[in-house]
A = this chain, B = another copy of it.
Amino acid sequence: MDYPAPIAKLINSFTKLPGIGSKTAARLAFHVLEMPEMEVSQFAQALIQVKRDLTYCSICGNITDTDPCIICSDQSRDTSIILVVEDTRDVMSMERMQEYRGLYHVLQGVLSPMEGRGPEELNIAQLIKRLQDEEVKEVIIATNATAEGEATAVYLSRLIKPAGIKVTRLAHGLSVGSDIEYADEMTLFRAIEGRREL
């Protein structure tokens, strides 16, 4: 005996989400069955709206419900600095810090030869266009500290530097509050390499 069709379909939809296997999907689907009808219809609506109402900002590539996004259209921000990140969640993390007042550029991924993602697949052409149009003095590359993130950073810096724009990279080192004992070799190496005078 199989699950009744409606629940089988919902389980199938849940399994398409990352990190959700068939057992978890079944558990979630049965939970939906017991949720108030109101909440379920809000959930369904939220799914539809995310696809319908969100677009990528035509300037920075961030996910937004207005174009240009609220950061690009904020007159109080410093337009001479662009911080380049992999995706929208990174923008959120930076904004949570409440210290950075420049603009962003969202690559929507990183270079990954393994997954067949080259520069054309990323939001790089638009970045170069911005650098020509706007009076940008510094590009901070804030891709993740992974092999792919590093490779993307190097690629971008080679692309941008010849135009005479300052290109910087986020510092690597020990996390605040972390123990040296637990730091990996690469992090320690970067921490020593980037040491500063006290």
Stretch at the interface among A4-12, A115-123, A147-155, A173-181: A4-12
Closest to A34 in B: B108
| A45 at interface, CB cutoff 8 A | yes
Residues of B with C-beta under 8 A to A30: 63, 87-89
* Binding site secondary structure of chain A: helix
| A145 at interface, CB cutoff 8 A | no
| Inter-subunit contact A92/B41 (CB<8 Å) | no
Report the count of interface residues on A (CB-CB < 8 A). 52
A43, B10: Cα distance in complex, Å: 7
| Inter-subunit contact A39/B54 (CB<8 Å) | no
CB < 8 Å: which of B27, B28, B31, B50 contacts A7? B50
| Inter-subunit contact A4/B46 (CB<8 Å) | no
24 inter-chain pairs at a CB distance below 8 angstroms, sorted by A residue, are A1-B70, A3-B92, A4-B65, A5-B65, A6-B46, A6-B49, A7-B50, A9-B42, A9-B45, A9-B50, A10-B43, A10-B46, A10-B49, A10-B50, A13-B46, A17-B28, A18-B31, A26-B89, A29-B50, A30-B87, A33-B51, A41-B48, A44-B47, A47-B47
